[in-house]
Amino acid sequence: MIFNIGGGHVGTIAANFATLFQTAFGVQGTVLAVEPATALAMDVYGFEISMIMGLGFIFGLVIAKLTPLKSIFLTGQHYLFFAAVIGLIFISNGMPTWVTVIFGSLVLGFAGAGLPKLAQKYTDELTGNAGVALGHFNLIFYWFSGVIGSVIGGKNWQAKKEKAANRELPDFFSVFRDFVFSVAFFMIILFYIATIAAVLSGHMDVVQEMAGNDLWFLYPLIQGLQFAAGMSVLIYGVRQFIAELTAAFVAISEKYIPGSMPAVDVPVFFQYAPTMVPVGFITSFIGGLTATFAMAAMGSPVVLLPAAGIAFFSGGTMGVFGSIRGGLKGAIIASFLGGILLTALPLVLFPAFSELGITDAGFPQIDYNIIGILLDKILKLFS
């Protein structure tokens, strides 16, 4: 219930932003926020997504038991989000429910058990072989961030890693370590850009109507704050939902899958290079805006905008992994390129999702989109 309430609230605010953006610029503007996109998908295809998530957990354990892919993926909300992407791709290709559930679960299970191994070398270097894996579905690019850092760092990467981990940043950057503040700050800016552009383009009547009893020039501020508040509720609901499921899978894996390694969420790794998190966050968001402006310049009928929450967690982690061997320069380059991909890649699958009614939010994570695009190409051979 908490998840649905938060998702409904954020979805409403995202729809308001899309209306303003379309009014101002004449194109559809969608903020790439995975939580409201999942809530929209669950509202219509809840059975398929829930079954893919549940069976995907089980298949992931079986794969870890029987193969060298020993990661136990414990970031349950990412299983939920990826299940939504996989389910929507199968459904958009006209697959029967049983095919969607069984084969979608297998894809999810292999992703959960196998993808953490891709970045494990850099995870071990970061943590000092702490015996944990990274469970966050940007693993293809976290691995590539490490590669970028390796190229930049060369033979002296150890010294650059220590320098990046201990670097002091200006006090201004410290405020962005708070997730809710970051979301509010950037959503307020985006709302003001869309609102002022709508007013300057002669659509004051639309802005006044949307603002209702609020002063129109305070409306963007209120909407940005309400979006951040809704995200707080939504994320709390996701964590409550996942916490109830995860404990059972932890117990099963410890008892029946010896040698397995827990794959955990990204905040666990922020402590190893905390100053690189805000660097990655800001640079990733700038990269996302670069992709947005490129879409607009190329005349795309849909313009996707980076979400502050995704830039914080995903971009921050790209910065951390880029800094392992590449120092500050590696963090900046990796997170900037990652921000571009986080915003640009979802454009490929957006038409298929929009046909199913998912238009006011999107799924930006890189693993979702790379694997999703490949899966969509394969399914089109059979659909």
* Three-class DSSP category at 368: helix
Q: How far is CA 39 from CA 80, 83, 140, 224, 301, in A?
A: 10, 12, 25, 19, 24
The pLDDT, as a whole number, for residue 238 is 63
The pLDDT, as a whole number, for residue 248 is 62
Q: Which whole number is the average pLDDT over 318-322?
A: 93
Q: Which whole number is the average pLDDT over 177-201?
A: 82
What is the C-alpha separation between 65 and 60, in angstroms, rounded? Answer: 9
Q: Are 61 and 251 in contact (CB under 8 A)?
A: no
CA dihedral 102, 377, 290, 204 (to 10 degrees): -80
Q: What is the pLDDT of residues 115-135, one digit of tens each?
A: 999 999 999 988 888 778 899
For helices 97-118 and 76-92, the axis angle rounded to 10 degrees is 130
Here the tokens at position 123 are: 């995870």
What is the C-alpha separation between 383 and 364, in angstroms, rounded? Answer: 25
The pLDDT, as a whole number, for residue 48 is 94
What is the C-alpha separation between 381 and 383, in angstroms, rounded? Answer: 6
Please report which confidence band the pLDDT of residue 224 belongs to, taking 50, 70 and 90 as the band edges.
confident
Provide the pairing of β-strand 261-264 with 133-134.
parallel
Q: Which whole number is the average pLDDT over 23-43?
A: 81
The pLDDT, as a whole number, for residue 266 is 83
Q: Which DSSP letter does residue 361 get?
A: B
What is the C-alpha separation between 125 and 112, in angstroms, rounded? Answer: 21
The pLDDT, as a whole number, for residue 230 is 81
Q: What is the pLDDT of residues 336-382, one digit of tens each?
A: 999 999 999 999 998 888 888 887 778 889 999 999 999 999 999 98
Minimum mean pLDDT among 165-179, 200-214, 278-292: which range? 165-179
- Looking at the DSSP assignment, which residues form a beta bridge with residue 28? 302
Minimum mean pLDDT among 2-11, 100-109, 357-366, 367-376: which range? 2-11
CB within 8 Å of 267: residues ≥ 6 apart: 313
Amino acid occupying residue 91: I
Whole-structure pTM value: 0.78
The pLDDT, as a whole number, for residue 228 is 82
Q: Which whole number is the average pLDDT over 96-121?
A: 94
Q: Is the pLDDT of residue 101 over 70?
A: yes
